């Protein structure tokens, strides 16, 4: 973003950067930056809080009054909460299915409600909702030791498949929890640490590594710190 | 995540280009440029190493977050797109007269760029700037994701 600020200013535009990382912006010297120590991915700080977002914008736009480069700090710090959300998971319904497949099928109604209420979904990079279930079945086979080169994965691209499975779960979860919006990494933590699908994904990722699949194929199936 | 991101190399700039705002904020046309890899459902999706940008119309509300990296939090955006792309807040500020108007078009890049950012500096960044200038934009709000 700071790079674009330099380019845009040189073209005669006035810019303000909402900066997430203070040490990065200090080195990149954009013309005007409001450093906001908010969870990464949430530069306006709080979803579904228009007043807070408005205040961030007002502080950022105020920097346009200063007639020299400036780096200011938003006074509030929001820490990315990594405690898994408390979200009910479906009971085991069909024990002939892999646990993650059964679980994903059980979450389908919640996922469908999310799509209906939001009118958009992040699922669909390579899989639709039915494909999420089919892909989990294959990942379960990989996790159980079957060769990834022998058992084809619906959607093929492991990174995109992982994205679609996680998005399906995250969107379903948002329909199943009450209260204020979950913090920065709470739903991610829930997915990877508490769901059968998360466990299956991580086990399949480990199996790919052990079967010496190319590094990007397995590494980007989960966030780097996992 | 913050530790991981902070460890990545960044391009360092010796000097800072600076364009003072030439009109009062209450008369300025404001655009958002985000690195959230937003795109319309029917756009070409971003590729994993995409250095190009997508054009967003001010009225688009069904935008998808097209990042490839699993390190991004998508949930905030899923709950409320304004947490990364504050188009509704900008519209409200225009209605109140805090800013002059919302630009007709906004732009989106993917946040995960090659370390040199050469393409954005020399190619897609200037191309995007030309679009903004053509739209009569005065102020660009840059939102990272």
Q: Please, which contacts does B47-52 make with residues 24 or more away whose CB atoms are closer than 8 Å? A: B48/A159, B48/B112, B49/B112, B49/B114, B50/B110, B51/B109, B51/B110, B51/B113, B51/B114, B51/B119, B51/B120, B51/B123, B51/B124, B52/B109, B52/B124
Nearest residue to A6 via CA among B68, B10, B112: B10
Helix (H) or strand (E) holding B38: strand B38-39
Instruction: State the smallest CA–CA distance between residue B57 and chain A in angstroms.
Output: 17
Q: Residue B78 in contact with residue A123, Cβ under 8 Å?
A: no
Looking at the partner chain, which of B72, B109, B117 has a beta carbon nearest the beta carbon of A41? B72
Measured distance CA(B29)–CA(A100) in Å, rounded: 50
Q: Residue A181 in contact with residue A41, Cβ under 8 Å?
A: no
For A22-71, give the DSSP string: HHHHHHH--SEEEE----TT-TTS-TT-HHHHHHHHHHHHHGGG-SS-EE
Looking at the partner chain, which of A41, A69, A119 has a beta carbon nearest the beta carbon of B77? A41
Q: Residue B35 in contact with residue B110, Cβ under 8 Å?
A: yes
Q: Do B141 and A40 touch (CB under 8 A)?
A: no
Q: Do A13 and B143 touch (CB under 8 A)?
A: no
CB-based contacts of A168: which residues, under 8 Å, 6+ apart? A104, A107, A111, A123, A129, A132
Tell me whether B93 touches chain A (CB under 8 Å): yes
Tell me whether A77 touches chain B (CB under 8 Å): no
Looking at the partner chain, which of A28, A160, A174 has a beta carbon nearest the beta carbon of B79? A174
Instruction: State the smallest CA–CA distance between residue B81 and chain A in angstroms.
Output: 8
Measured distance CA(A26)–CA(A69) in Å, rounded: 12
ipTM for this model: 0.93
Question: Any idea what DSSP says for residue B83?
Answer: G
Tell me whether A75 touches chain B (CB under 8 Å): no
- pLDDT-derived band at B3 (thresholds 50, 70, 90) equals low
Measured distance CA(A164)–CA(A137) in Å, rounded: 14
Measured distance CA(B1)–CA(A40) in Å, rounded: 8
**Predicted local confidence at residue B8, as pLDDT:** 64
Identify all chain B residues contacting A47, using CB atoms and an 8 Å cutoff.
Answer: 76-77, 79-80, 82-83
- pLDDT-derived band at B9 (thresholds 50, 70, 90) equals low
**Least confident interval from A8-22, A124-138, B12-26, B27-41:** B12-26
Tell me whether B25 touches chain A (CB under 8 Å): yes
**Predicted local confidence at residue B145, as pLDDT:** 85
> Largest alpha-carbon pair distance within chain B?
42
Measured distance CA(B83)–CA(A88) in Å, rounded: 26
Identify all chain A residues contacting B62, using CB atoms and an 8 Å cutoff.
Answer: 119-120
Q: Which residue of A has its CA nearest to B116?
A: A3
Q: Which residue of B has its CA nearest to A48?
A: B80
Q: Residue A149 in contact with residue A212, Cβ under 8 Å?
A: no
Tell me whether B105 touches chain A (CB under 8 Å): no
Measured distance CA(B45)–CA(B64) in Å, rounded: 9
Instruction: State the smallest CA–CA distance between residue A91 and chain B in angstroms.
Output: 24
Q: Residue A220 in contact with residue B68, Cβ under 8 Å?
A: yes
Measured distance CA(A54)–CA(B93) in Å, rounded: 8
Q: Residue B39 in contact with residue B47, Cβ under 8 Å?
A: no
What are residue A86's phi and psi, to 5 degrees? -95, 100
Characterize the bridge pairing of strands B64-65 and B38-39.
antiparallel
Instruction: State the smallest CA–CA distance between residue A5 and chain B in angstroms.
Output: 8
Looking at the partner chain, which of A9, A31, A41 has a beta carbon nearest the beta carbon of B73? A41
Measured distance CA(B83)–CA(B89) in Å, rounded: 10
Measured distance CA(B111)–CA(B37) in Å, rounded: 7
Looking at the partner chain, which of B16, B63, B74 has a beta carbon nearest the beta carbon of A167? B74
**Predicted local confidence at residue A33, as pLDDT:** 96
Q: Residue B31 in contact with residue B137, Cβ under 8 Å?
A: yes
Identify all chain A residues contacting B82, using CB atoms and an 8 Å cutoff.
Answer: 44, 47, 50, 53
Percent of chain B, pLDDT > 70? 90
Chain A, 20-59: which have a CB under 8 Å from a chain B CB? Answer: 20-21, 23-24, 27-31, 39-48, 50, 53-54, 57-58
**CA-to-CA dists, residue B84 to A60, B34, B111, angstroms:** 14, 8, 12
Q: Is residue B6's pLDDT more than 70?
A: no
List chain A pLDDT tens, one digit each, 226 residues.
788 999 999 999 999 999 998 988 888 889 999 999 999 899 999 999 999 999 999 999 999 999 999 999 999 999 988 999 999 999 999 999 999 999 999 999 999 999 999 999 999 999 999 999 999 999 999 999 999 999 999 999 999 999 999 999 999 999 999 989 999 899 999 999 999 999 999 999 999 999 999 999 999 999 988 8
**CA-to-CA dists, residue A177 to A85, A181, A192, B79, angstroms:** 8, 9, 17, 12
pTM exceeding the 0.95 threshold for the entire prediction: no
Q: Do A188 and B88 touch (CB under 8 A)?
A: no
């Amino acid at each position: 973003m700071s790079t674009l600020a330099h380019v845009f200013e040189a073209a005669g535009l006035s810019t303000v950067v909402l900066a997430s990382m203070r040490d990065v912006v200090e080195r990149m010297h954009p013309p005007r930056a409001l450093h906001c120590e908010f969870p990464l991915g949430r530069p306006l700080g709080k979803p579904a809080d228009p007043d807070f977002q408005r205040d961030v914008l007002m502080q950022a736009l105020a920097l346009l009054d200063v007639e020299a480069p400036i780096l200011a700090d938003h006074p509030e710090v929001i820490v990315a909460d990594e405690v898994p959300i408390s979200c009910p998971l479906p009971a085991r319904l069909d024990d002939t299915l892999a646990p993650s497949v059964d679980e994903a099928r059980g979450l389908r109604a919640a996922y469908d409600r999310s799509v209906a209420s939001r009118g958009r979904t992040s699922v669909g990079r390579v899989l639709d909702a039915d494909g999420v279930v089919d892909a989990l079945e294959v990942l379960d086979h990989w996790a159980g030791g079957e060769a990834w080169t022998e058992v084809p994965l619906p959607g093929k691209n492991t990174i995109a498949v992982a994205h679609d499975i996680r998005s399906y779960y995250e969107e379903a979860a948002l329909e199943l929890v009450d209260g204020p919006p979950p913090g920065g990494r709470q739903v991610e933590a829930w997915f990877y640490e508490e769901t059968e699908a998360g466990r299956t994904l991580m086990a399949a990722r480990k199996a790919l590594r052990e079967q010496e699949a190319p590094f990007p194929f397995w590494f980007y199936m989960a966030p780097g710190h996992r | 995540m913050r530790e991981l991101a902070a460890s990545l190399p960044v391009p360092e700039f010796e000097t800072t280009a600076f364009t003072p705002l030439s009109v009062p904020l209450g008369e300025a046309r404001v655009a958002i440029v985000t690195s959230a890899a937003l795109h319309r459902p029917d756009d070409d999706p971003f590729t994993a190493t995409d250095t190009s940008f997508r054009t967003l119309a001010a009225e688009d509300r069904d935008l998808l977050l097209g990042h490839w990296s699993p390190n991004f939090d998508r949930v905030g955006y899923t709950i409320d797109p304004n947490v990364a792309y504050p188009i509704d807040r900008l519209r409200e500020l225009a209605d109140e007269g805090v800013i002059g108007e919302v630009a007709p078009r906004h732009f989106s890049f993917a946040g995960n760029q090659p370390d040199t950012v050469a393409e954005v500096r020399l190619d897609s960044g200037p191309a995007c700037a030309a679009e903004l200038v053509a739209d009569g934009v005065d102020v660009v709000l840059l939102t990272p994701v």
